[in-house]
Amino acid sequence: MIIESYFELILLMGGVLSFLLSMYLIFYPGNFFPNRILGALVFSWTVTVFVFILYSTDFYTKYVHLYAVLDVFALMFFPLMFLYLRNYLYRDIKNPGRQFFHFLPAILYLLVLMPFFLQSGDAKLKMFEEGFPLWYRIAQSVFNIIIILQGIFYSIFCLREIHRFQYFRKKHLSQFQLATLRWLRMFVLINVVLWMFGTTGAILDLLGIRLFIDLFKIFYAGLSLFTIILAIFTIKRPELFSESEDIINLVRHNKTSGPKTSSDQNKEDFEVLSQFIEQEKPYLKNDLKMQDLVESTGITYKRISEVFNKNFNKTFYEVMNEYRLEEAKVLINKGFHRDYTISHLAEKAGFNSKTTFNRIFKKYTDQTPSDYIQNLEESSI
């Protein structure tokens, strides 16, 4: 194997640095899980950089069984970025096992290409010389499209999570915490910019269009440079990567304000939760669960339960149904029922069935929805 240019040599050095950084983050002192996710992400970057360099050498003719296997790491970029951000912001995510669903595309990649991976070395070398079968080329194209779509959707999800987190806690965040959020936003945006170069290069490659510059080289050079910046940032600002300075802990236990009493905490939770319900209207989601509020606000499941029991003096579902009832009244007053069925109106207001809608409506108004509409229209004549 021969490294043919200084560019490849620099990339290789950057890859080595990325590997060292990934190991540092994965085995970082303490039990800060987001560091391990970030380490896995950096390790994925490392593998893809090495794969890019090795494609331009005779490496795969010697180690033919590694061909295409390492490409699976490209399907892990954006899921790992999203999970890093989510676990950094929300330390008490319920059912963490569900996070593995984000890796289904990577698992499917290995399963779909298994017939190729099980081929003998001679058969693979023959494919290198004569061309890959049609099913293999189609599968690779499909997974390239999946990577492009991952970049779009996960970038939106990440920026939305940061915006939502900052929006509902802005007045409770210190300057350090705001700086941490700026770091997370910058982290996502740099990944998006690099993804744009990589995606553009992949699309042009599929179309057979060649530019005066290799966009893939820009992508991998940018990835290596970002890793170096990340390493420097980790050394200069280690508090951003330590459990003791976890942003959620800082939000909940602001040092300048002293320890909070349970009453103060409950009051703050009630304020944040009420604001979220009023402005974001989560009750319009038909299958809303309390865990959705946990993930959206960052307040623990236990504390949200306390807010509903102590402040609202009602259960979670009772409060949500009351908001849905008011939403249904607003729709009726706007004449929504004239163009759509009662069932559709109920669904639009957040109820999961017409039966539930009728029961709740009757409970709080002593009228059925039809009677309410009839009385409303008669009074307007």
Q: What are phi and psi of 27, to 5 degrees?
A: -105, 25
Q: Collect all residues with Cβ–Cβ distance below 8 Å to 12 and sequence separation of at least 6.
A: 3, 49, 50, 53
Range of the domain at 276: 256-379
Residue 310, in any domain of the structure: yes
**Radius of gyration of the chain, Cα coordinates, nearest whole angstrom:** 27
- pLDDT band, very low/low/confident/very high, at 273 (cuts 50, 70, 90): confident
Say if residue 34 is in the same domain as residue 167: yes
* Among 373, 371, 379, CA closest to 338: 373
Residue 330 exposed, middle or buried by CB count within 10 Å (0-12, 13-18, 19+):
exposed
Say if residue 24 is in the same domain as residue 126: yes
Say if residue 241 is in the same domain as residue 262: no
300 has a pLDDT exceeding 60: yes
Average pLDDT, the chain: 81
Say if residue 120 is in the same domain as residue 30: yes
Q: What is the DSSP letter of 75?
A: G
Say if residue 238 is in the same domain as residue 338: no
The pLDDT of residue 92 is: 53
User: What is the dihedral angle through the alpha carbons of 228, 232, 237, 243, rounded to the nearest 10 degrees?
Assistant: 50
Q: Collect all residues with Cβ–Cβ distance below 8 Å to 181 and sequence separation of at least 6.
A: 162, 165, 166, 173, 247
Distance of CA 184 to the CA centre of its chain: 12
Average pLDDT over residues 66-70: 84
**37 touches 93 (CB < 8 A):** no
Q: What is the CATH number of the domain that holds 148?
A: 1.20.1070
201, 227, 250 - which closes a domain: 250
Residue 91, in any domain of the structure: yes
Say if residue 32 is in the same domain as residue 145: yes
Residue 30, in any domain of the structure: yes
Say if residue 61 is in the same domain as residue 206: yes
Say if residue 265 is in the same domain as residue 244: no
Tokens of 188: 């996502």
The pLDDT of residue 244 is: 47
Say if residue 288 is in the same domain as residue 198: no
Highest mean pLDDT among 23-27, 78-82, 220-224: 78-82
Q: What is the pLDDT of residues 156-187, one digit of tens each?
A: 888 888 877 776 665 555 666 677 778 788 88
